[in-house]
Structure 1
Amino acid sequence: MIAFPQPSSYIQLVTPSLPHTASHLPRQLSLIVCESLTCPVLSPKYQMLNPQNQFLNSLFEGQKPLVREYVSRIKTQSELSPGSPQFAGFIFDAFATGLKDLANEFDVPWYAFCASDAAYLGWVMHLKALQDEQGVDLTELGNSDSELEIPTLASPIPVKCLPLSSLVKETLPIALEMAGGLTEAKGILVNTFLELELHAVNSLSNGKTPRVYPVGPIVKHEGDGRDVGSDGSKNSRIDIMEWLDDQAPSSVLFLCFGSRGSFRSEQVKEIACALERSGHRFLWSLRKPSPSGKLKSPSDYENFQEVLPQGFLDRTAKIGKVIGWAPQVDILAHQAVGGFASHCGWNSILESIWFGVPIATWPLYAEQQFNAFYMVIELGLGVEIKMDYTMDFQGDDDIIVSADDIMRAIKQLMEEDKEIRKKVKEMSRISEKTLMPGGSSHSSLGHLIDDIIENLP
């Protein structure tokens, strides 16, 4: 069992024998799996008062005594009770490598878990090389309109598609610190699979990066059973699924932009216009932005009429449905869904691939622009709405994507590009096989366990 605990809690990973691995463990092992600690988005004022990565470092320092106490209890129990799990090491989230000193204290190996794609992991590692080995001023690079070659990408990537947080002086030290920490790991688990990212994974086998273990796709196969909505039954999970049941196979475009995804009213009206003009069936998860300057997640609208064009809901009543919160996994798994307009978070991408639903890319923040480029240009598994769209964490952006551009992408995704649909369906089949005995991720997990055994203290 692999479990990622909530902040300030730590869970024992016990693997007496895993039938889905290449080998069986001769004894019980105990690993501590530490999730990236949840922290607020840093406002410019806070960044000025707390430069570079001071905030995260202080956060990690505050967590170390809790982890130390928990591990000490495990080790004591192991010594006093023969047959109890033996402590073997740590698995840290890639953003929590600031806890790595604990592994040295207990004289055990530690591994990192990267929840993003292998190509993006390569960018993080290349970022440090650009500064340390080539002397590149990364903050100046962020103002460039040029393209950049990255070892884990076969195609040059426009700088404007790189994560902004990697190229601004306030947050660049955090990215560099993470990259430096990852080089010290015994190995890096990545939520991907070899067949999807063959070039990227092979590029990381360069002797400069710890061994990479593709162990994905780690995705939810069913929803959480939640059945709530902002306007009662109209937005309930049951009502959503019943509406989908009435639609033809692969006929519905699903629009959903993640837990922080929302648009201001001007952009909402352009999306609505595009959907109405396209004539395609749609299911739209429309969230209300938090008030400007407030670091809160979007909420559901009390009344969609306040933001949508007048008469839109009536005119599209036979072909579309607007909802608030969306049970994304359940929707993507439904046979009626034939396209997914997405913010391109890596989890959402893996879910779309798992269920064989092609993507129209509309990234918003973090590494999503990188992922959008990756899906459209590098892997050929999506179409572009706008790859370099960027907003800040308050949901503000000067860019308005026109209804014409949105409609063009909808038609390409739902009508024209049969090759992308075919490729996604094939990758979906491969993603299932990779987790089965003999599959690449199945074998990779087995190699990881073998490595853990070989490095037992």
Structure 2
Amino acid sequence: MSTTSELVFIPFPALGHLVSMVEMARRLVDRDDRLSVTVLIMKFPFDSKIDSTVESFTTSITTRIRFVLLPQLNPSPETSPMALLNQFVESYKADVRGAVADLSTCSLPRLKGLVVDMFCTSIIDVAVEFGVPSYVFIPSGVAVLGLMLYLQSLQDEQHMDLTKLKCSDAELDFPCFANPLPAAKFLPAETLMKEDSRIFLGHARKFRESKGILVNTFAELEPRAVEALAGLGAPVVYPVGPILNIEVESKKGFEILDWLHQQPDASVVFLCFGSYGSFDEEQVKEIACALERSRCRFLWSLRRPPAKGKLEAPCDYADPTEVLPEGFIDRTAGVGRVIGWAPQVAILAHQAIGGFVSHCGWNSTLESIWFGVPVAAWPQYAEQQFNAFQLVVELSLAVEIKIDYRRDLVKGSESIVTADEIERGIRRLMDGEEAEERRKKVKEASEKSRKALMEGGSSYLSLGRFIEDVSSQ
């Protein structure tokens, strides 16, 4: 059967957002051969991985998913990373409008709507111009969506000025959680005092203009959060996750996997902090000290941070010993490995991995659940802090290393998490009855995540409802 319906996807060009959105497109066309998808790719001038990532997609994905690379633009400097990224998306509106105009002139397949990333909501205006529905894709969980809608309603409906909220002592009666949420754990006051608040709440307002919201979660993981959305006035929500690309990422990881093959089951703690995860030298030394004192087997993905004041992705060290304590590599040679970039999926899938020290990005969270690996939470940014709070408090799938750690994309972090705190978190993650009980809970969550995607599962049915809604336009 030839395709009759076309969707246009506009992902945010951060790697985690892009990969999950493309995987979402793959799920759709695999499920219904009437559908095709065009993915419009924006490009950060400082992220060279986008080109190679898109190239890998084009060699492995069905012909009913097409990629259009938009011209690279250089955003002008703004007052904060969030403002700069928001201005970056806004600057692509004209290019998106032109690409959509080209598609809308075709009689078949008929353009059925735009699916925009949660940080690309200004593109909803383009859908309105062309008279087609817009949908939002949330690469995080339902609770993050609920938080954004909740805070926006506090300001717009209850007239609470969030820029005056004292997060150091505030508790929010957030309906997605059983207990009041300590705002200081995830919502730094200094952020709310800036332009970031306007941008953050602006995205939530645009969510309400969409016809529906696709969320990378499954109902069994966040039942309270899914239920609470109705009271927040959300559009129809489709929990369709976990959306993961669980293929082995690169042959570069084979040497690492060979080392893991030699380790006992569930004996290795894996430390990895995402595409933008890195630490200054002082913090690196604290981590190294904690690992050495814990005596745990470890695999540590250590990345060099960008230069101060630059919004760039981390890179691998040519020689990691320049930032590690003297003699660390030699003293831990029998139990640990320090590497650069890590094939995270392949590592988490390995039976030797018994714990994951993570920044709690949502993709990493879902991967750890999928493979049944408990987490020690050390988030870097506000959204990740919220994910970590959920894992630690509500779901009991993680231990806390430091949830209220603060890091700026450009400035880095002024605070230091001590070796004592890190060691304590690793020991709780890997040793004792508490660790065994947590491992059982994560295994149960893993089984639920897989069942959700099977025929008749909650996410399988939710995706079917979305396809029906699109096809009926």
Q: TM class, shorter-chain normalised?
A: 0.7 to 0.9
Q: CA deviation at 1:226?
A: 4.9
The answer to whether the 8 Å contact 1:285/1:326 transfers is: yes
CA contact (8 A) 1:152 1:203 kept: yes
Q: Who is 2:244 aligned against?
A: 219
1:268-417 equivalence runs, <5 A: 268-394=284-410, 396-416=412-432, 417=434
- 3-state SS of 2:105 partner: helix
Q: Which moved more, 1:150-159 or 1:383-392?
A: 150-159
Give, in whole Å, the separation in 2 of the partners of 1:276 and 1:14.
44
Task: Find 1:209's aligned residue among 212, 234, 237.
Answer: 234
Q: Secondary structure at the match of 2:329?
A: helix
Look up the match of 2:123.
99
Match of residue 161 from structure 2? 137
Per-residue deviation at 1:4? 5.5
Task: Return the letter of the residue paired with 1:306.
Answer: E
Task: Name the CA distance, whole Å, in 2 between partners of 1:117 and 1:263.
Answer: 26
Structure 1 residue 241: deviation in Å?
Answer: 0.9
Partner of 1:76: 105
Secondary structure at 2:407's aligned position in 1?
coil
2:403 and 2:176 map into 1 onto residues whose CA distance is 19
TM-score normalised over the length of structure 1:
0.86
What per-residue deviation string (whole Å, max 9, x for no partner) do you get for residues 210-244 of structure 1?
A: 011001001121232252xxxxxxxxx22211111
CA distance in 1, matches of 2:231, 2:39: 27
Write the distance in 2 (CA, Å) between the matches of 1:323 and 1:260. Answer: 16
Report the equivalent of 1:451: 469
In the alignment, the residues of structure 1 paired with residue 81 and residue 335 of structure 2 have an alpha-carbon distance, to the nearest angstrom, of 51
Aligned residue for 2:195?
A: 170
Distance 1:380 1:16 in 2: 30
1:65 partnered with 2:94: yes
CA contact (8 A) 2:78 2:84 kept: no
Q: Using the TM superposition, give the Cα deviation of residue 124 of structure 1 relative to its aligned residue in structure 2, in angstroms.
A: 0.6
CA contact (8 A) 2:8 2:38 kept: no
* d(CA) in 2 for partners of 1:400, 1:441: 40
1:71 Cα offset (Å): 3.0
Distance change >3 Å, CA 46–CA 305, structure 1 → 2: same
String of CA shifts for 1:273-302, please: whole Å, max 9, x gaps: 111111110001111222222222222222
Pair 190,317 (structure 1): closer, same or farther in 2 beyond 3 Å: same
User: Which 10-residue stretch deviates more, 68-77 or 176-185?
Assistant: 68-77
User: Residues 109 and 308 from structure 1, CA distance in 2 versus in 1: closer, same or farther, beyond 3 angstroms?
Assistant: same
Identity %: 50
Separation in structure 1 between the aligned mates of residue 163 and residue 223 of structure 2, nearest angstrom: 31
Which residue of structure 1 aligns with residue 62 of structure 2? Answer: none
SS of equivalent residue, structure 1 residue 151: coil
* Structure 1 residues 70-113: Cα deviation after superposition (integer angstroms, max 9, x where no partner): 333333321xxxxx322111111111111112222222211110
Whole-angstrom CA distance in 1 between matches of 2:27 and 2:284:
52
CA shift in 2, pair 1:192/1:15, >3 Å: closer
Structure-1 separation of matches of 2:440 and 2:170: 33
Distance 1:401 1:390 in 2: 10
Query: Counterpart of 1:233?
Result: none
Task: Using the TM superposition, give the Cα deviation of residue 46 of structure 1 relative to its aligned residue in structure 2, in angstroms.
Answer: 4.0
Relative to structure 1, is the Cα distance of residues 331 and 190 closer, same or farther in structure 2, using a 3 angstrom cutoff? same
Measured in 2, the distance between the counterparts of 1:97 and 1:5 equals 10
Runs of 5+ unmatched residues, structure 1? 79-83, 228-236
Q: 1:149 aligns with which of 173, 181, 193?
A: 173
Query: Any idea what SS the aligned residue of 1:434 has?
Result: helix
Deviations 1:45-73 (A, max 9, x none): 9445x99969735743x433333333333
Root-mean-square deviation over aligned CA pairs: 3.0
Check 1:240–1:353 CA distance in 2 against 1; reply closer, same or farther (3 A cut): same
- Structure 1 position 199 matched with structure 2 position 199: no
Cα deviation for residue 429 of structure 1 reads 1.1
2:444 match: 426
Question: Could you report, residue by residue, the CA deviation over 1:6-39 in whole angstroms, capped at 9, with x for unpaired residues?
Answer: 779999x99999675xxx68xx345655578758
Matched residues in 2 for 1:127 and 1:238: separation?
45
Structure 2 portions without partners, runs of 5+ = 1-5, 48-75
8 Å CA contact 1:7, 1:38 repeated in 2: no
Is the contact made by 1:16 and 1:29 (CA closer than 8 Å) also made in structure 2?
no
In 2, distance between residues paired with 1:214 and 1:19?
18
Name the amino acid aligned to 1:75: S
Go from structure 1 to structure 2 and tell me whether the alpha carbon gap of 1:36 and 1:193 turns closer, same or farther (over 3 Å shift).
farther
Which amino acid in 2 is paired with 1:373?
Answer: F
Q: What secondary structure is seen at the aligned counterpart in 2 of 1:116?
A: coil
AA aligned opposite 1:86:
R
Cα separation, 1, equivalents of 2:394 and 2:40: 32
State the TM-score, normalizing by the size of structure 2: 0.83
Which among 107, 110, 113 is matched to residue 89 of structure 1?
A: 113
Mapped pair 1:160 → 2:178: no
Q: Distance in 1 between matches of 2:370 and 2:9?
A: 21
Give the whole-Å Cα distance in 2 for the aligned partners of 1:4 and 1:108: 13
Aligned: 1:441 with 2:465? no
CA distance in 1, matches of 2:438, 2:140: 22
CA distance, structure 1, for counterparts of residue 312 and residue 420 of structure 2 = 31
CA contact (8 A) 2:104 2:111 kept: yes
Q: Determine if contact 1:95/1:178 at 8 Å carries over to the other structure.
A: yes
The letter of the residue matching 2:386 is F
CA distance in 2, matches of 1:320, 1:2: 47
Q: Quick one: distance in 2 between partners of 1:167 and 1:128?
A: 13
Give the AA of the match of 2:268.
Answer: V
Residue 340 of structure 1 aligns to a residue in which SS?
Answer: strand
Maintained 8 Å contact 2:89/2:120: no
